[in-house]
C-alpha cells in the first residue's frame, strides 16, 4: 500500500550526503553549472536536454566528485524521474489528443461561448482556457483555441486582447500549477509531494489567479494595447461546426475524471481507515498512473467512439500524441539528473542551510529561484525542475501540505514575465499580430501578474497549512 507520496514513494529514499568539497567550492560549482546551462540554452541555442546534461557533469567536476560517481548520479536521477513522470506525461498527451480530435474540446468551447453575454465573454474565455488547459499542454491548447479566439473576436467586434488574454491566463495557470502538466509533475516527483493534495491546492490557487490575471488584468491591457483585432490576423479557422461530437456534459465529465480520482485518493488518505476495502480501492484508482490510464480508456469510448471515430481513428490519434512529447520527457529526465547531482555533491544541503539560517520564507525563496531561472532560460519547465532540485533538502520535516505549496510556489515562479527568449512569446506575438512592445504590454505582463498573484495566494495558504 502506497503512502502519502503515492507512485513516487517507490523511488529510493535519499541517504545522508557527504559533501564532495568545501562550502565555497560547492557554491561555485552550482553557480558555474547553472550559468553554463543558461549560456548553452540562451546564446548557443543548445537543446535543454543537452544543456542540463553538460551542466550536471560540470557541477560534478567543479565539486571534485569523481567522474564515474557523477555519471552514476546523473543517470540514476534521469531514470527515476522518467520512470515516475514520463508515463504520466504520455498518458496526459494521449488524453489531450483524444479530446481535440473527437471534437470534445470544440463542444466545451461552443457550449460556454454560446451561453455567454458580450459582457461575460472574457470570464467565459478564461473558464474555457482553464478547462481545456486541464488535460492539454499549453502550446497544444493555444493552437486548438486560436481559431475560437479569432472567431469570437470577429463576431463580437471585441479586440483579440479582450477575448484572447483571459483564455491565455486559464491555459497558463493550468500549465504552471496543475498536474498532469510536465512542470508540476516533475516538481512533485523531485520533492516527493502528494499528487492529490498538490492537485487540489493547485486548482485552489489557479482559480483566483486566473480571475486576477485574466478578466481583471485584461481591462488594463485593453487600454495599453489597442488596434489588435481579428481582421488584422491571417488565421483561418479549421473547425467543422457540423461534425459529430460528444455531448458537453459527457466531455466535461471525462475531462474531470482523472482530477476527481486523484483528489478522492487524497481525501481517502485523510478520512478513511487504512485497513478498509474502500481505502485500498481509492488508494489504487487515485494513483496518478491509474487515474490517467482509466481516463484514457474512458475517453476512447466517450470521446473517440462517442464522436464516431473507429478503431483506426482512435489508434492514429493516440499514436500521433506521442512524438511531440519526446523532447519534453528528455528535458524533464535531464532535470532529474541535474537535481540528483546537486544532492549527491552536497550542494543542495549547503543552499538549504543558507536559506534556513537566513530566516527567509522557504516559499518565497522557491519562487525567486524559479523566477531567476525562468528569466534567464525562457523555459518554464527548466525553471521548475531546476528550482525543485535546489529546494529538495528544505522539505525535510515539512508536512505534505507544505511541500505541495512549495511545488506551487515554484510553478508560480516558472511563468514569470515571458519575454524574447521564450518560444511562447513569439508564438503569441505572431498569432495575435502584435508588435514586440504590444506583446510585452499584454502577454508578458499578464504572465507576471499570474506569477505574482499565484505567489500571494500560496503565501496566504501557507499561513493556515
Q: What percent of the chain has pLDDT over 70?
A: 92
pLDDT at residue 420 greater than cutoff 80:
no
Return the pLDDT at 76: 92
pTM above 0.95, yes or no: no
Cell 557523477 belongs to residue: 70
| CA separation for the pair 298, 300 (Å, rounded) | 5
At 148, the pLDDT band (50, 70, 90 cuts) reads confident
Q: Tell me, what's the pLDDT at 15?
A: 47
Give the mean pLDDT of the chain: 85
Provide the pLDDT confidence category of residue 19 given band limits of 50, 70 and 90: low
Please list, in sequence order, all residues whose beta carbon lies within 8 angstroms of the beta carbon of residue 22, skipping any fewer than 6 positions away: none
**Is residue 227 predicted with pLDDT exceeding 90?**
no
pLDDT higher than threshold 90 for residue 198:
yes
- pLDDT-derived band at 348 (thresholds 50, 70, 90) equals confident
Count Cα neighbours of 357 within 13 Å in the Cβ-side half-sphere: 6
Q: CA 386 to CA 418: how far, in whole Å?
A: 17
**Percent residues over pLDDT 90 in the chain:** 37
pLDDT in tens, 322-337: 888 888 888 888 888 8
Cis before 59 (ω within 30): no
- pLDDT > 60? residue 274: yes
pLDDT tens digits for 291-319? 889 999 999 999 999 998 999 999 999 99
Nearest to 437 by CA among 227, 275, 297, 245: 227
Contact present, 25 and 63 (Cβ < 8 Å) = yes
- Kindly tell me if the per-residue pLDDT of 125 is higher than 90: yes
- Using CB atoms within 10 A of its CB, is residue 122 exposed (0-12), middle (13-18) or buried (19+)? buried
Q: Is residue 3 pLDDT above 60, yes or no?
A: no
pLDDT tens per residue, range 60-110: 999 999 999 999 999 998 998 888 788 888 888 898 889 888 988 888 888
Q: What angle do CA 455, 460, 214 make, to 5 degrees?
A: 50
Amino acid at each position: 500500500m502506497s503512502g502519502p507520496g503515492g507512485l513516487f514513494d517507490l523511488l529510493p529514499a535519499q541517504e545522508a550526503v557527504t559533501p564532495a568539497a568545501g562550502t565555497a567550492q560547492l557554491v561555485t560549482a552550482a553557480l558555474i553549472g547553472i550559468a553554463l546551462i543558461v549560456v548553452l540554452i540562451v546564446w548557443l541555442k543548445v537543446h535543454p536536454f543537452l544543456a542540463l546534461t553538460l551542466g550536471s557533469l560540470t557541477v560534478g567536476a567543479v565539486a571534485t566528485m569523481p567522474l564515474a560517481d557523477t555519471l552514476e548520479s546523473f543517470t540514476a536521477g534521469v531514470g527515476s524521474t522518467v520512470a515516475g513522470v514520463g508515463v504520466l506525461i504520455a498518458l496526459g498527451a494521449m488524453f489531450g489528443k483524444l479530446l481535440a480530435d473527437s471534437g470534445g474540446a470544440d463542444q466545451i468551447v461552443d457550449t460556454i461561448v454560446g451561453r455567454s453575454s458580450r459582457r461575460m465573454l472574457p470570464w467565459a474565455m478564461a473558464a474555457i482556457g482553464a478547462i481545456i488547459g486541464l488535460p492539454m499542454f499549453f502550446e497544444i491548447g493555444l493552437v486548438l483555441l486560436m481559431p475560437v479566439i479569432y472567431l469570437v473576436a470577429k463576431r463580437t467586434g471585441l479586440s483579440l486582447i479582450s477575448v484572447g488574454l483571459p483564455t491565455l491566463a486559464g491555459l497558463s495557470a493550468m500549465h504552471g500549477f496543475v498536474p498532469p502538466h510536465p512542470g508540476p509533475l516533475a516538481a512533485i516527483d523531485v520533492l516527493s509531494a502528494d499528487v492529490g493534495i498538490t492537485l487540489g491546492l493547485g486548482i485552489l490557487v489557479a482559480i483566483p489567479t486566473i480571475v486576477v490575471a485574466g478578466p481583471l488584468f485584461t481591462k488594463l491591457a485593453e487600454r495599453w494595447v489597442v488596434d489588435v483585432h481579428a481582421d488584422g490576423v491571417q488565421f483561418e479557422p479549421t473547425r467543422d461546426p457540423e461534425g459529430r461530437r460528444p455531448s458537453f456534459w459527457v466531455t466535461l465529465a471525462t475531462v474531470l475524471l482523472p482530477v476527481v480520482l486523484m483528489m478522492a485518493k487524497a481525501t481517502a488518505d485523510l478520512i478513511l481507515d487504512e485497513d478498509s476495502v474502500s481505502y485500498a480501492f481509492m488508494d489504487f484508482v487515485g494513483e496518478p498512473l491509474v487515474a490517467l490510464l482509466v481516463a484514457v480508456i474512458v475517453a476512447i469510448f466517450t470521446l473517440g467512439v462517442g464522436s464516431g471515430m473507429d478503431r483506426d481513428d482512435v489508434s492514429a490519434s493516440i499514436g500521433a500524441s506521442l512524438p511531440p512529447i519526446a523532447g519534453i520527457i528528455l528535458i524533464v529526465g535531464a532535470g532529474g539528473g541535474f537535481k540528483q547531482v546537486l544532492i549527491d555533491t552536497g550542494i543542495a544541503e549547503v543552499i538549504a542551510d543558507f536559506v534556513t539560517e537566513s530566516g527567509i520564507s522557504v516559499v518565497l525563496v522557491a519562487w525567486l529561484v524559479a523566477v531567476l531561472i525562468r528569466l534567464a532560460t525562457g523555459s518554464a519547465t527548466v525553471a521548475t525542475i531546476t528550482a525543485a532540485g535546489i529546494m529538495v533538502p528544505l522539505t525535510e520535516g515539512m508536512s505534505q501540505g507544505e511541500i505541495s505549496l512549495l511545488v506551487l510556489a515554484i510553478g508560480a515562479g516558472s511563468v514569470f514575465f515571458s519575454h524574447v527568449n521564450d518560444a511562447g512569446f513569439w508564438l503569441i506575438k505572431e498569432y495575435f499580430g502584435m508588435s514586440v512592445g504590444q506583446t510585452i504590454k499584454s502577454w508578458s505582463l499578464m504572465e507576471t501578474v499570474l506569477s505574482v498573484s499565484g505567489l500571494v495566494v500560496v503565501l496566504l495558504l501557507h499561513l493556515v497549512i
